[in-house]
Amino acid sequence: MEKKKIGIYSYTGCSGEQFVILECGAELFELCDRAEIKSFPMAQSNNEYTTLDIAFLEGSITTKKQKKELAQVRSRSKLLVAMGTCACFGGIQSMRLGEGEWKKRFQKVYGDDGKSFRTMEPFESKPCDAFVKIDYYIPGCPMDKKQFLHSVARMLNGNSPYLYQFPVCAECKWKENDCLLLRGLPCLGPLTRGGCGAACPSYNLPCVGCWGPAEVPNVPSQYELLVEKGYGPQEIQQKFRKFGGAPMVERLKKIMEHME
């Protein structure tokens, strides 16, 4: 049986997904028995830029060079899979999407040193699906190793990956944790895609939403609940947008229009 050809590509992010893959250990060797890894710059030097059965993408798109490379990967890949919150939703670097004044913020952070980035032609960071069609998403910050391996195994057998549909809030209840929202803390568990095992709430730390928006988040309800708990609109929007990326921008826009 001919091996499927795989490529792994990284754009703007912390490289967390690539580390997750490398930490698969023995399971990574089993993956190599079933698939031929043609490109994985963090792990090998003899990378080939060829046609692929599956291309995995990590990180958001922040420069014209990345945008061009992404389009090239799309054109020579049968399936394109976004891994991690940055590739899927834009990540924390996209939390101000739609607010404008990106150049002003860029200048404030980098000052005159930012001129050295001109050759890369940077722009406000966006998720991969802002530029090309994405076939599947494996969210997480970083993604979960088991969910990645399970998804890869299904795709190598011609099936769609099965992702968790429940929010972090459900995982928290299964662990019988005390609800942090009832204690007045700004936990985003009801809005956030599950898969982390409610890691933060299990240690009494409110969920910050780093796995990205849940499948069908009830944003208006959570917004009203936090207002009742005494949080201001600006603070709530900041929390929602931190890892919510482009999808959360649109949902918040509708809430603000309704309130006006």
Q: pLDDT tens digits for the chain (260 residues)? A: 789 999 999 999 999 999 999 999 888 888 888 899 999 999 999 999 999 999 999 999 999 999 999 999 999 999 999 999 999 999 999 988 878 888 888 888 888 777 777 778 899 999 999 999 999 999 999 999 999 999 999 999 999 998 888 999 999 999 999 999 999 999 999 999 999 999 999 999 999 999 999 888 888 899 999 999 999 988 998 899 888 876 677 777 777 676 65
Q: What is the pLDDT of residue 160?
A: 95
Which residue blocks in the chain are alpha helix, DSSP H?
16-22, 26-34, 64-75, 84-89, 102-110, 145-156, 168-174, 219-228, 233-259
DSSP-assigned letter for residue 69? H
Q: What is the pLDDT of residue 86?
A: 95
C-alpha–C-alpha distance, residues 189 and 210, integer Å: 10
Instruction: Note whether 222 and 66 are within 8 A (CB).
Output: no
Q: What is the pLDDT of residue 246?
A: 67
Q: What is the pLDDT of residue 12?
A: 95
C-alpha–C-alpha distance, residues 161 and 154, integer Å: 6
DSSP per-residue string spanning 126-166? E-GGGTS--SEEE-BTTB-HHHHHHHHHHHHTT-------S
Which structural domains are found in the chain, ordered by start? 4-157 (3.40.50.700), 168-258 (no CATH)
C-alpha–C-alpha distance, residues 131 and 225, integer Å: 35
Q: For residue 260, with 0-12 CB atoms within 10 Å meaning exposed, 13-18 middle and 19 or more buried, which class applies? A: exposed
Q: What is the pLDDT of residue 251?
A: 75
Q: What is the pLDDT of residue 53?
A: 97
Sign of CA dihedral 152, 153, 155, 156: positive
Q: What is the pLDDT of residue 256?
A: 67
Of 38, 49, 41, 53, whose CA–CA distance to 11 is shortest?
A: 41
For 71, residues 6+ apart whose C-beta sits below 8 A from its C-beta are 131, 132
C-alpha–C-alpha distance, residues 184 and 217, integer Å: 20
Sign of CA dihedral 205, 206, 208, 212: positive
Q: Give me the torsion for CA of 74, 247, 250, 108, rounded to 10°.
A: -90
Q: Which residues pair with 36 in a beta bridge?
A: 5
